[in-house]
Amino acid sequence: CVTFRETLLLADPQRSTQTEMTRIVDVIAHEIAHMWFGNLVTMDWWNGIWLKEAFATFMQVATTDAFRPQWRRWDGFCVERGAAFDTDSLASTRPIEFEVISPEDAEAMYDILTYEKGAAVVRMLEQFLGSAQFRSGVKHYLTSHSYANTTTTDLWDSLEHASGVPVRAAMDTWIFQGGHPVVAVEATSEGISLKQSRFGYSSVDPTSWHIPIIIRAQVGSEQVEKRVLLEGNHEEIDLGGTPQWAVVNAGGHGFYRVTYGEDLLRALSKRALDVLSPSERYGLVDDTWSSVLAGETDAETHLSLVTSLASETDLAVWQRILSSLEHLYSIADGQGRSRLQVLIRDLSTTALGVLGLEPIDNEPDLDRELRALLFSSAGTTGADNSIRELADQIFTHSKAGKDTEPNLTAAAVRVVAAAGDDEIHSELVSLYRQAPTPQLEVRYLMALLELEHLDLFEQTLELFTSEVRTQNAPYLLGAAMAHRNHGYLAWQVIRDRWEELNKKFPQNSIPRMVGGIRSLSTPVIAEEIRDFFAQHPIPQGQLTLEQHLEKMTVNVALRAREGSRIGG
């Protein structure tokens, strides 16, 4: 028997957004995958929980991709993999598999490293071995160990049996040690040189991996592809000449960062829309942004890159571009915020002009989601007046029962909230209370997080803690800490009502609620938060808490480096 929340079973396709529909298919596929990964074959002990959760996550994406190929689910998985990269870039990361002694250890396994990093590593291996050999190996694993218990080595044995590749030697470096590599790429007269080191936002212990690398490059008039297992720290790759451009991590499936020498980066940036796939372009933007967070690259370089991608048409790439710009906005001073607001508005409205503001019959589902993303960005942080006027019209039509496109309607609600007054706040609360579907209920609650008026935001926080169901409230409070101006107010509520909220909310939701502190970046507030958690540990998620605190420190350092430079 599989039990689902109503938001994952009760959906009206005429009112649901693309994000909501994708999540429904993802979660149902994930839970059904456990019939094989977890039930038919069960891990020997809790340390191997990734054998069921990482594979179920991998299978949910593969299943959704097969069910609706037009959703391009593997391209969308870049965003989830990016979130895993973020945690795995910390000194406080952990291996995918580690020794489990206590119930608290077992509880701590249910995190982004087990699910998303684990799935990303599985996907990397599948792409390197080839899907046919990988599928054969997994089939051997499931049939050989049906109704039995397994360890990680059993999986490696089956994959080696099917592929003839020494999988264990390579994959043990990914499963039993934390972190991930960054591969530095330089052009040579014969091809390229590769050099690996451990990536981190701050100082991390050095280590190395066996990295399955797929390379695609233009050499003269020929496009070359090569597969390499980088076992040492450095290797020269013969491509038959100096490449005009080269992409390392071709396909964008590897769980490692890539940095390019100046000439190669310039060549890729100029040709990105022509020679890189959406996943590869996502990787280029994400890798550059991670380098900014690590202090290896300045924010101006990143802004130049995203500006060069103004003609981008892929949803996931735009999600990465806009989230990085929103992040810079949150740490910038007044001048920097003014510049970023204009940049966000100009990029979003220009892309909307290319895509078109009006939905088109039979257009791709992802175009509708992209339109909503751009519309929301232009109307909230971008504060574009024409977008806000259009949002008011869409919101009015929706309330009147007229047909409106669900993705754009959801975005319009957020834009209306961002410029909202007392009347809009009361209206959104009323709509939440009367919502006919669980998706609409959550949608109105999320829109309330956009409110800019201080007293209205405080009323929203009170609503979250007093009325909203406990399955949703912790995540809304965590998201509230990411508010561009009022995040500290949400932290104050959590701090002042800590004992009450711990009794009221599910225990496994507390570490996730606290994750909102990652968005805060003021040194005084950060010190206050560290002092608070020194006195208030979270036994069921102490390592996760340490990761949140460390990422907050990274954010404080980013503000110190870039906060006053962006507007200059």
Token pair belonging to 101 = 């002694």
Burial (CB count <10 Å: 0-12, 13-18, 19+), residue 105: middle
CA distance 115 to 512: 15
What CA dihedral angle connects 507, 508, 513 and 518, to 10 degrees? 130
Contacts of 288 (CB under 8 A, 6+ apart): 297, 301, 302, 305
Residue pair 309/347 in contact by the 8 Å Cβ criterion: no
**Whole-number Å distance between alpha carbons of 256 and 124:** 10
Q: How far apart are CA 120 and CA 131, in angstroms?
A: 15
d(CA 471, CA 192): 51
Q: What would the DSSP string read from start to end of 363-374?
A: --HHHHHHHHHH
Residues comprising the chain, all counted:
568
* Beta strands 222-230; 211-219: pairing state: antiparallel
User: Rounded distance, CA 88 to CA 100, Å?
Assistant: 19
Amino acid (one-letter) located at 292: V
The residues, any chain, with a CB within 8 Å of residue 526's CB and separated by 6 or more, are: 520, 552, 553, 556
Chain position carrying tokens 């420190």: 553
Let me know the angle formed at the C-alpha of 411 by 408 and 412, rounded to the nearest 5 degrees: 85
Outline where 309-418 has alpha helix (H). 315-331, 334-355, 365-379, 385-399, 406-418
Evaluated on CA atoms 438, 444, 447, 452, the torsion sign reads negative
User: Which of 6, 31, 53, 389 is an active site residue?
Assistant: 31
User: Residue 554 has which token pair?
Assistant: 């990274």
Q: Say which amino acid occupies 158.
A: S
Closest CA to 472 of 498, 452, 446: 446
State both tokens at 539.
């036994």
401: left (phi over 0), alpha (psi -120 to 50) or beta: left
Q: Give the C-alpha separation, 442 to 438, whole Å.
A: 6
173 exposure class (CB count in 10 Å sphere: 0-12, 13-18, 19+) = middle
Give residues with Cβ within 8 angstroms of 127, minimum separation 6. Answer: 212, 214, 251, 253
The closest alpha carbon to 325, from 312, 341, 309, 310, belongs to 341
CA distance 208 to 196: 7
Phi, psi of 88, deg, nearest 5? -75, -10
Q: Alpha-carbon distance 360 to 282, whole Å? A: 26
- Decide if 31 is catalytic: yes
Active site residue ranges: 31
